[in-house]
């Protein structure tokens, strides 16, 4: 995974040197460095675990917990459709919910695994929404609204969790409760500025497109659904952990791990997400923790990807969902 990621990014730098600014080169170097460090951390945890220990730990996880994790994953992807529903409503585009749900599920299932959501998920959106009569410019605006929805929810949920109940890092580091609370305060400040701008009806410009300001009702719905989606995603991991630990602690650790995964730009956050979880929970039984993380990858990432691939193949075959053009709302 590391070699493939590094080779791909370095190849792009070599064949398109002029398109890569210093910032982009730094971003690539940062991502490779984070992935290397994450791989070292994970290796340090797993090198003393035998295959028999890991297999035994996996089979110790109650089947009812795995089943609940699958149900929660389904709920999570249903909540994710609200991102597109709210965006299309704001853009005055009407589509049957079945079309929106199909596109949303496939887009997020691929982007969660492939990474680079601005490219991967929006490629799927472009492919499918165009067939449903949505223009390219509208799809671009929809992508911007969906991105805003996630970060509004993350800021709302993160500010509350980090300020009121910051996760405890077991060793002295930059992840002290004071630092995490400071980050929570920063998120709250950004959220306050965003709400103020919306209340003042300030339009937002993204490239050559100007996005109309959201109304307060839409803003609250965005924060509600995005916060719910992140909470449900954390719940999938929580039900797979065989430890006696509070959900609020797991939610805080999950949020920090998500930030690290997104910042690293590593496809799917593979290794980075797991490394952060392992660093925050080193005192727990390693085989059980590793098995929970493997099951989480399987249930939340791999299974939806398989289903999304089959749905996309069926849709592309012409036997799937029928074409229903979008209609604008005056």
38 is a domain residue: no
* pLDDT for residue 44: 65
Residue 240 lies in a domain: yes
CB 120 within 8 A of CB 193: no
Q: Which residue has the higher pLDDT, 324 or 181?
A: 181
Task: Supply the pLDDT for residue 96.
Answer: 92
Whether 34 is in a domain gets the answer no
CB 129 within 8 A of CB 103: yes
Nearest residue to 247 via CA among 269, 261, 267, 232: 232
Instruction: Give the pLDDT score at 267.
Output: 78
Which band of pLDDT confidence, cut at 50, 70 and 90, is reported for residue 32? low
Query: If you average pLDDT over residues 23-50, what whole number do you get?
Result: 66
Eight-class DSSP state of 242: -
Q: Which residues pair with 211 in a beta bridge?
A: 204
DSSP state of 223: H
As a whole number of angstroms, the distance between CA 70 and CA 299 comes to 6
| 328: in domain | no
* Residue 50 counted as domain residue: no
pLDDT band at 224 (very low <50, low <70, confident <90, very high): very high
Average pLDDT of the segment spanning 248-270:
87
For residue 203, count other CB atoms closer than 10 A to its CB: 9
Give the residue with greater pLDDT, 190 vs 70.
70
* Model pLDDT for residues 209-222, shown as the tens digit of each residue: 555 566 778 888 88
Q: Give the percent of the chain with pLDDT over 70.
A: 74
314 is in which domain, residue-wise? 62-321
- 278 vs 310 pLDDT, higher one: 310
Indicate the pLDDT class of residue 16, thresholds 50, 70 and 90: very low
pLDDT greater at residue 211 or residue 107: 107
Say which DSSP state 298 is in: I
What backbone torsions phi and psi does residue 168 show, to the nearest 5 degrees? Answer: -95, 125
Residues in Cβ contact with 154 at an 8 Å cutoff, skipping those fewer than 6 apart = 187, 226, 230, 255, 258
Tens digits of residue pLDDT in 77-95: 999 999 999 999 988 888 9
Sign of the alpha-carbon dihedral angle for 304, 307, 313, 316: negative
Q: What is the bridge-based pairing of β-strands 204-206 and 93-94? A: unpaired
Confidence check: pLDDT of 57 > 80: yes
Tens digits of residue pLDDT in 115-163: 776 777 888 898 899 988 888 989 988 988 888 889 889 999 999 999 9
Q: Is residue 208 part of a domain?
A: yes
Q: Is the pLDDT of residue 36 over 70?
A: no
Q: What is the pLDDT of residue 173?
A: 62
Q: What is the pLDDT of residue 219?
A: 83
Query: Is residue 315 within 8 Å of 128, Cβ to Cβ?
Result: yes
Evaluate if pTM is beyond 0.95. Answer: no
Q: Choose the weakest-confidence range: 5-9, 52-56, 107-111, 286-290.
A: 5-9
Q: Is the pLDDT of residue 255 over 80?
A: yes
Distance from the Cα of residue 264 to its chain's centroid: 13
As a whole number, the mean pLDDT across the chain is 81
| Residue 251 banded pLDDT, cuts 50, 70, 90 | very high
Residue 263 has pLDDT above 50, yes or no: yes
Say what the alpha-carbon torsion angle 87, 80, 275, 242 is, to the nearest 10 degrees. Answer: 160
In this prediction, what percent of the chain has a pLDDT beyond 90? 34
Q: What is the C-alpha separation between 330 and 326, in angstroms, rounded?
A: 13
Residue 15 has pLDDT above 70, yes or no: no
Task: Assess if residue 26 is contained within a domain.
Answer: no
**Greatest CA separation for the chain:** 64
pLDDT category of residue 176 using cuts at 50, 70 and 90: confident
Q: Count of domains in the chain?
A: 1
Q: Are strands 327-328 and 93-94 parallel, antiparallel or unpaired?
A: antiparallel
The reported pLDDT for the residue numbered 244 is 82
How far is Cα 73 from Cα 194, in angstroms, rounded to an integer? 30
3-state secondary structure of 327: strand
205 φ/ψ angles, rounded to the nearest 5 degrees = -100, 125
Q: Is residue 31 part of a domain?
A: no
The predicted pLDDT at position 19 comes to 46
């Amino acid at each position: 995974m590391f070699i493939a990621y590094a080779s791909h990014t370095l190849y792009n730098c070599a064949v398109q040197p002029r398109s890569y600014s210093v910032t982009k080169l730094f971003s690539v170097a940062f991502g490779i460095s984070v992935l290397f460090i994450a791989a070292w951390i994970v290796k340090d945890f797993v090198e003393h675990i035998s295959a028999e220990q890991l297999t035994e730990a996996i089979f110790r996880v109650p089947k009812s917990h795995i089943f609940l994790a699958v149900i929660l994953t389904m709920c999570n992807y249903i909540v994710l459709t609200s991102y597109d529903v709210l965006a299309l409503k704001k853009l005055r585009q009407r589509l049957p919910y079945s079309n929106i749900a199909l596109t949303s599920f496939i887009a997020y299932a691929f982007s969660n695994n492939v990474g680079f959501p601005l490219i991967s998920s929006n490629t799927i959106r472009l492919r499918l929404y165009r067939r449903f009569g949505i223009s390219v410019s509208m799809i671009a605006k929809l992508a911007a609204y969906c991105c805003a929805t996630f970060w509004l929810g993350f800021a709302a949920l993160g500010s509350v969790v980090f300020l009121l109940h910051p996760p405890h890092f077991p060793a002295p580091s930059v992840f002290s409760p004071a630092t995490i609370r400071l980050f929570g305060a920063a998120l709250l400040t950004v959220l306050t500025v965003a709400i103020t701008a919306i209340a003042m009806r300030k339009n937002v410009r993204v490239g050559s497109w100007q996005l109309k300001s959201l109304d307060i009702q839409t803003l609250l719905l965005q924060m509600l659904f995005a916060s719910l989606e992140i909470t449900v995603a954390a719940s999938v991991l929580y039900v797979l952990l065989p430890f006696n630990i509070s959900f609020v602690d797991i939610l805080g650790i999950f949020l920090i791990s998500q930030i690290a995964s997104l910042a690293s730009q590593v496809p799917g956050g593979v290794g980075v997400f797991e490394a952060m979880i392992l660093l925050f929970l080193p005192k727990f039984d390693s085989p059980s923790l590793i098995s929970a993380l493997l099951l989480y990858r399987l249930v939340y990432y791999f299974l939806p990807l398989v289903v999304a691939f089959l749905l996309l193949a069926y849709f592309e075959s012409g036997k799937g969902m029928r074409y229903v053009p979008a209609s604008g709302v005056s």
